[in-house]
Amino acid sequence: MPKIKSSRAAAKRFKITGKGKIKRAKARSSHLLAKKSRKNKRKLRSSTLVSTAERKKVKRMLPYR
């Protein structure tokens, strides 16, 4: 049986932690930053985890991780 290709888009966006959780970057941090507060922009720099509802979809896109 052939190997499954992992989604390159997902591989660039998500990282798997040691315990199997999935890290992601926060959205809304690329443009229109002048109207956002300093505190809000600082919070957007930190990473967060993918929700448990979406975890199954992301794991299917990354079969060998």
Do the domain assignments include residue 33?
Answer: no
Do the domain assignments include residue 59?
Answer: yes
Q: Across 12-65, where does the E strand assignment appear? A: 15-16, 22-24, 48-49
Which residue range forms the structural domain that includes residue 50?
39-65
pLDDT of residue 22: 97
Do the domain assignments include residue 28?
Answer: no
Do the domain assignments include residue 26?
Answer: no
Do the domain assignments include residue 8?
Answer: no
- Total count of domains within the chain: 1
Q: For residues 23 and 15, is the Cβ–Cβ distance under 8 A? A: yes
Best CA proximity match to 59, nearest among 7, 19, 2 = 7
pLDDT greater than 90 at residue 17 = yes
65 band by pLDDT with thresholds 50, 70 and 90: confident
pLDDT greater than 90 at residue 60 = yes
Give the alpha-carbon dihedral of 51, 38, 46, 58, to 10 degrees.
40
Question: How does pLDDT run across 44-59, given as a tens digit for each residue?
Answer: 999 999 999 999 999 9
pTM of the model: 0.82
